[in-house]
Amino acid sequence: MDNPKHVAIIMDGNGRWAAQKGLPRIAGHSAGAKSVEEVIKAAKESGVRILTLYAFSTENWKRPKHEVDALFKLLENYIDSQTDILIKNDIRLSVIGRIEGLPDSVRRKLKSVMDRTKSGSSLLLNLALNYGARTEIVDAVRAVAKDCVSGHVNPDDMDEKAFSGYLYTKDLPDPDLLIRTSGEMRLSNFLLWQLSYSEIFISKKLWPDFKKSDFVEALDEYRNRQRRYGK
Kindly name the residue from 12, 130, 176, 214 that is annotated as catalytic: 12
Residue of 55, 16, 50 whose CA lies nearest to 209:
16
Report whether 77 contacts 106 (CB < 8 A): no
Kindly name the residue from 3, 60, 89, 189 that is annotated as catalytic: 60
Is residue 220 flagged as an active site residue? no
Q: How far is CA 108 from CA 43, 66, 96, 188, in A?
A: 27, 21, 15, 28
What is the amino acid identity at position 131?
A: Y
Report whether 180 contacts 200 (CB < 8 A): yes
Convert 172-203 to b/e letters by CB count within 10 Å (16 or more is b): bebbbbbbbbbeeeebebbbebbbeebbbbeb
Three-state secondary structure string covering 72-107: HHHHHHHHHHHHHHHHHCCEEEEEECCHHHCCHHHH
Is residue 12 flagged as an active site residue? yes
Cα gap 228→85, rounded to integer Å: 38
DSSP-H helix ranges across the chain: 14-20, 25-46, 65-88, 104-116, 133-150, 160-164, 212-223
What positions carry a catalytic annotation? 12, 60
